[in-house]
Amino acid sequence: MTIKTYCLRFSVIAISLLLYCNAAAQNTPALADFNVFRIENSIYLRWTLTSGSICDGIQIYRSTDSTNFSQIGEIPGICGSSSEPRQYSFTDKNPVKNKTNYYRLAFGGGGVSEVLSIEIIDVQFGGIQIRPNPATGPVKIYFNNTYNQAFQLLVYNLNGQNILNLNTSEKFFQLDTENFSPGVYPFTIALLDGTSRKVLGKLVVQ
The verdict on 115 and 33 lying in the same domain is yes
The verdict on 81 and 148 lying in the same domain is no
Q: Which helix (H) or strand (E) holds 26?
A: helix 3-27
Q: Is the pTM above the cut of 0.85? A: no
The verdict on 198 and 167 lying in the same domain is yes
Last residue of one domain, picked from the residues 79, 96, 119: 119
Integer Cα distance of 135 and 155 in angstroms: 14
Integer Cα distance of 194 and 169 in angstroms: 15
Q: Which domain holds residue 166?
A: 128-205
Residue 63 lies in a domain: yes
The verdict on 113 and 32 lying in the same domain is yes
At residue 2 the predicted structure's pLDDT band, cuts being 50, 70 and 90, is low
How do residues 73-94 score in pLDDT, each as one tens digit? 999 999 999 999 999 999 999 9
How do residues 113-148 score in pLDDT, each as one tens digit? 999 999 988 886 568 999 998 998 999 999 988 889
How do residues 27-55 score in pLDDT, each as one tens digit? 558 999 999 999 988 999 999 999 999 99
At residue 199 the predicted structure's pLDDT band, cuts being 50, 70 and 90, is confident
Residue 23 lies in a domain: no
Q: What is the CATH number of the domain that holds 153?
A: 2.60.40.10
Residue (of 72, 123, 134, 117) closest to 97 by Cα position: 123
Residue 91 forms beta bridges with which residues?
44
